[in-house]
A and B are shown apart, each in its own frame.
Chain A
Amino acid sequence: MSDTHQKEIDQLSGVETTGHEWDGLKELNNPLPKWWLYLFYATIAWAVVYWVLYPSWPLISSYTTGVLGSSQRAEAIAAYEAGVAGRSEFADKIVAASLDEISSDQELRQFAMANGQAAFGDNCAPCHGTGGTGFIGYPNLQDDTWIWGGTMDAIQTTLLYGIRSDYDDTRFGDMPAFGADEILSDEEIDQVANFVASKAGLETDDGVDLAAGETLYIDNCAACHGDALEGIQELGGPSLVSANYLYGKSLDAIKTQIHNPKNGVMPGWVDRLDPATIKSLTVYVHSFGGGQ
Chain B
Amino acid sequence: MVAETEAEKTEHAEEWFASAKKIYPMATHGLFRRIKWGLLFLTLGIYYFLPFIRFDRGPNAPGQAVLVDMEARRAYFFFIEIWPQEVYYLTGLLIIAAVTLFLMNAIAGRIWCGYLCPQTVWTDLFMWVERQVEGDRRERIRLDNAPWTGGKIAKRATKHFFWIMIAWWTGGAWVLYFNDAPTLVYELATFQAPMVAYIWIGILTATTYLLAGFMREQVCIYMCPWPRIQAALTDEKALNVTYRWDRGEPRGSLKQNKDLERKGLPSGDCIDCYQCLHVCPTGVDIRNGMQLDCIQCGLCIDACDNIMEKVGKPKGLIAYDTDENIQRRIEGKEPVYEIVRVRTVIYAAVIALVGAIMLFVLLTRDFADINVLHDRNPVYVTQSDGTVRNGYTVRLLNKRNHPRYFMLHVEGMPPGTEVEAAGVDTIFADRPIVEVGPDTTREVRILVTSPVGVTMPPSTPVTFRITESVMGEVVTADDFFKAP
> Are B377's CB and A133's CB within 8 A?
yes
Whether A143 touches B9, Cβ cut-off 8 Å, given contacts A243-B386, A289-B389, A289-B391, is: no
Contacts A14-B13, A289-B391 hold; do A131 and B383 have CB atoms under 8 A apart? no
Q: Quick check: is A11 within 8 A (CB to CB) of the other chain?
A: yes
Q: How far is the CA of A290 from the CA of B383 in the complex (A)?
A: 8
User: Which residues from 229 to 243 on chain A have a C-beta closer than 8 Å to any C-beta of chain B?
Assistant: 239, 242-243
Q: Sample 13 A-B pairs with CB under 8 A, ordered by A number.
A: A12-B9, A12-B13, A13-B13, A129-B377, A130-B377, A131-B378, A143-B383, A143-B389, A239-B384, A242-B385, A243-B384, A244-B382, A290-B383
Task: Give the shortest distance, in Å, between B483 (CB) and chain A (any CB).
Answer: 12
| A residues in contact (CB < 8 Å) with B | 11-14, 129-133, 140, 142-145, 239, 242-244, 287, 289-290
Where chain A touches its partner, the secondary structure class is: loop
What residues on A are CB-neighbors of B385 within 8 Å?
A: 242-243
Contacts of A140 in B (CB 8 A): 381
Question: B377 touching A289 by the CB < 8 A rule?
Answer: no
Give the contact-size bracket for chain B.
Answer: 10 to 19
Residue-wise, chain B 369-388 has the 8 Å CB interface mask toward A (1 for contact) of 00000011110011111100
Residues 1-53 of B contacting A (Cβ, < 8 Å): 4, 9, 12-13
B87 to chain A minimum Cβ distance, whole angstroms, is: 30
Whether A243 pairs with B391 at a CB distance below 8 angstroms is: no
CB within 8 Å for A143 and B377 given contacts A12-B9, A14-B13, A243-B386: no
Residues on A with beta carbons closer than 8 Å to the beta carbon of B377: 129-131, 133
Select the residue from A129, A131, A140 with max chain B CB neighbours within 10 A: A131
The residue that A243 contacts in the complex, of B9, B13, B382, with Cβ under 8 A, is B382
Give A243 to B386 CA distance when docked, in angstroms: 5
- Which of B375, B381, B422 lies in contact with A143, CB distance below 8 A? B381
Q: Nearest-CB distance from A25 to chain B (Å)?
A: 12
User: Looking across the interface, which residue of chain B has its beta carbon closest to that of A145?
Assistant: B384
Scoring B residues 409 to 452 as 1 if CB is less than 8 Å from chain A, else 0, what string do you get?
Answer: 00000000000001000000000000000000000000100000
Contact A142 B386 (CB under 8 A): no
Could you tell me the distance between the alpha carbons of A242 and B447 in the complex, rounded to whole angstroms?
20
Q: A11-B9, A12-B13, A145-B383 are in contact. List 14 more A-B contacts (CB 8 A).
A: A12-B4, A130-B377, A131-B375, A131-B376, A131-B378, A140-B381, A142-B389, A143-B383, A243-B382, A244-B383, A287-B422, A289-B381, A289-B389, A290-B381
Roughly how many angstroms separate A27 CA and B155 CA in the complex, as a whole number?
Answer: 47
- CB pair A142–B384 under 8 Å, yes or no, is no
Q: Which of B4, B375, B378, B384 contacts A244 (CB 8 A)?
A: B384
Interface residues of B in 292-310 (CB under 8 A from A): none
Are A144's CB and B383's CB within 8 A?
yes
B residues near A243, Cβ cutoff 8 Å: 382-386
| Least Cβ–Cβ distance between B379 and chain A, in angstroms | 9
Residue of A at shortest CB range from B385? A243
Taking a contact as CB atoms under 8 Å apart, the answer to whether B384 and A143 are in contact is yes
Contact, CB under 8 Å: B9 / A142: no
Residues of A within 8 A of B447 (CB): 289
Contacts of B391 in A (CB 8 A): 289
Instruction: Indicate if the CB atoms of A12 and B12 lie closer than 8 Å.
Output: yes
Min CB gap B410→A, angstroms: 16
CA–CA, A17 to B381, complex, Å? 81
Cβ-closest chain B residue relative to A130: B377
A144: chain B residues at CB < 8 Å are 383-384
The answer, among A14, A133, A239, for a CB contact under 8 Å with B381, is A133
